Amino acid sequence: MITVTFHDLQRVDSCKNAMLVTDSQAIVDLFHSFNGRQPFMFELRGDNNKALTIGYASTSGVVQYSSQAGTPPYWMAVGDDTVDAHDYIEFAAGGTPTPVSRRYCLPLKTVLIIAMEFMNDGGMSRVVQWEQI
């Protein structure tokens, strides 16, 4: 199990920023605390220098796996690859809407599983396909 910290990319003054996420229940509780928020982005940063950047919306989300240094490669979890690549959903980060193709949208249940697996081993989940962007 790796140590994971939460960072809200929309609300930089969030009292949850730099919060340690220590177990599966803490991830579930964190996700439940987002109910009612407009779509936004946050990061789960592992002590292995890897990060998940997650776009959260009320019923779906997107997940990118990368190094914390921001260097390539960047991997996106693929949802429905039959969706028009020009159809987007916007997630707020730093007050700026960030468009992400809907082909990367996943059910929140799947996003939660990916986050839990990241916390367990620091790697990319095997429950989805990943695409290098």
The model's pLDDT over 61-113, given as tens digits with 9 standing for 90+, comes to 999 999 999 899 999 999 977 777 678 999 999 999 999 999 999 999 999 99
Number of domains present in the structure of the chain: 1
> Cis before residue 73, ω within 30 degrees of 0?
yes
Predicted TM-score of the model (pTM): 0.94
Q: Where are the beta strands (DSSP E) in the chain?
A: 4-8, 19-21, 40-46, 50-56, 60-67, 75-78, 88-93, 96-101, 106-107, 129-132
* Amino acid identity, position 63: V
Q: Which helix (H) or strand (E) holds 27?
A: helix 24-32
Range of the domain at 126: 4-132
